[in-house]
Copies of this chain bind each other. A is one copy, B any other.
Amino acid sequence: MKLTILGCYSATPRFDNNPTSQVLEINNHIFLIDCGEGTQVQLRQQKIKFARIKHIFISHLHGDHYFGLIGLISTFRLLKRETDLHIYGPKGIKEVITLQLKLSDSWTNYNLYFHELESSQSELIFEDEKVEVRTIPLKHRIYANGYLFKEKPGERTLDVEAAKILNINKAYYNKLKQGFDIENEHGRLISNEEVTFDPPTPKSYAFCSDTVYKPDIVPIVMNVTAIYHESTFLDKHEHLCEPTKHSTAKQAALIARDANAGTLILGHYSTRYDDLNLFKIEAQRVFDNVELADDGKVFNF
């Protein structure tokens, strides 16, 4: 599982300071999460293969999280994309994108599917044999969701040497990987654990931005491998959280701690702070394994 931060700053784009966008590579999928202005330029810089993005997840309809989407959709058209593109985001996203396509008389030459979200409950919104994606209902000034990306458990790993010694016919190997007990060539029942290992632990990633501190998301993201949680403010500005509906680094760490997360990644820093290390120090008072997002930074899990 590989996470590339394309942008992680709040408010307006600046020269070396991009609004929110991330790429999550998980089980052969490339998911784009949020798409602030200039995201397509960041995608090029990070050498992400545009064509392999088939699903885009937008948290909410503030500009710093989606103003780059229409440009990316248009560029896909210029690049002669033919693959379907699925957009997940709040109700309204279809209207605003299709209006812009209509005004430019530039329809896409690929299928564009909108999956508009309205629920305040966590929903399963994407699933295939390898991955599932659920919403994480957030609380911001406007309707917002985070997203939880989860690998499905893989097949068990076969201990080929043990299987040979126990005289198991190769025809049963797939059954074993799927977890079944089987009979060997002498008719003896072999329990699955004797010849297989547990599959690798499925990995998961939670994206939570923008939101106030919202402890009721903890059960949804429990035991997540890595969580990105916005930390617009430091604790000393905690009084700004409620009016702006943002969180502090400390609050992000409380979510990570209570959810037993593997790693906490902070981001969406207010431009008022010069020393981002203060975010890390503050969060580490609550939760140990803290990373700071930065534009262009890559995390491997």
Give A residues with C-beta under 8 Å from B: 11-15, 37-38, 40-41, 44-45, 61-63, 67-68, 70-71, 74-75, 78-79, 90, 92-93, 95-96, 99-100, 103-106, 141-142
Given known A41-B13, A44-B14, contact A71–B78 (CB-CB < 8 A): no
Given known A14-B44, A44-B15, A99-B95, contact A106–B37 (CB-CB < 8 A): no
Q: In the complex, how many angstroms separate the beta carbon of A60 from the nearest chain B beta carbon? A: 8
Contacts of A141 in B (CB 8 A): 105
Which are the 8 A-B pairs with shortest beta-carbon distances? A12-B75, A61-B103, A92-B103, A37-B71, A63-B74, A67-B71, A62-B104, A105-B142
Contacts of A13 in B (CB 8 A): 38, 40-41, 71
Residue of B nearest to A16 (CB): B41
Residue of B nearest to A45 (CB): B15
Q: In the complex, how many angstroms separate the beta carbon of A63 from the nearest chain B beta carbon? A: 5
Please give the count of copies of this chain that the complex contains: 2
Q: Which one of A13, A92, A105 has the greatest number of beta carbons of chain B within 10 Å?
A: A13
Q: In the complex, how many angstroms separate the beta carbon of A210 from the nearest chain B beta carbon? A: 12
Q: When the two chains form their complex, are residues B15 and A41 in contact, meaning their CB atoms are under 8 A apart?
A: yes
Q: Bound complex: CA of A273 vs CA of B59, how far in Å?
A: 39
Q: In the complex, how many angstroms separate the beta carbon of A286 from the nearest chain B beta carbon? A: 30
Contacts of A45 in B (CB 8 A): 15
Q: In the complex, how many angstroms separate the beta carbon of A41 from the nearest chain B beta carbon? A: 5
Q: Bound complex: CA of A68 vs CA of B93, how far in Å?
A: 17
Contacts of A62 in B (CB 8 A): 104, 106
Contacts of A63 in B (CB 8 A): 70-71, 74, 100, 104, 106
Q: In the complex, how many angstroms separate the beta carbon of A35 from the nearest chain B beta carbon? A: 11
Q: In the complex, how many angstroms separate the beta carbon of A141 from the nearest chain B beta carbon? A: 6
Q: Bound complex: CA of A11 vs CA of B15, how far in Å?
A: 21
Contacts of A79 in B (CB 8 A): 12
Contacts of A71 in B (CB 8 A): 12-13, 37, 63, 67
Q: Which one of A14, A71, A90 has the greatest number of beta carbons of chain B within 10 Å?
A: A71
Contacts of A12 in B (CB 8 A): 40, 71, 74-75, 78-79
Contacts of A74 in B (CB 8 A): 12, 63, 67
Q: When the two chains form their complex, are residues A68 and B37 in contact, meaning their CB atoms are under 8 A apart?
A: yes
Contacts of A99 in B (CB 8 A): 95-96, 99
Q: When the two chains form their complex, are residues B14 and A41 in contact, meaning their CB atoms are under 8 A apart?
A: yes
Contacts of A75 in B (CB 8 A): 11-12
Q: In the complex, how many angstroms separate the beta carbon of A287 from the nearest chain B beta carbon? A: 31
Contacts of A100 in B (CB 8 A): 61, 63, 67, 96
Q: Bound complex: CA of A51 vs CA of B15, how far in Å?
A: 18
Q: Bound complex: CA of A69 vs CA of B11, how far in Å?
A: 15
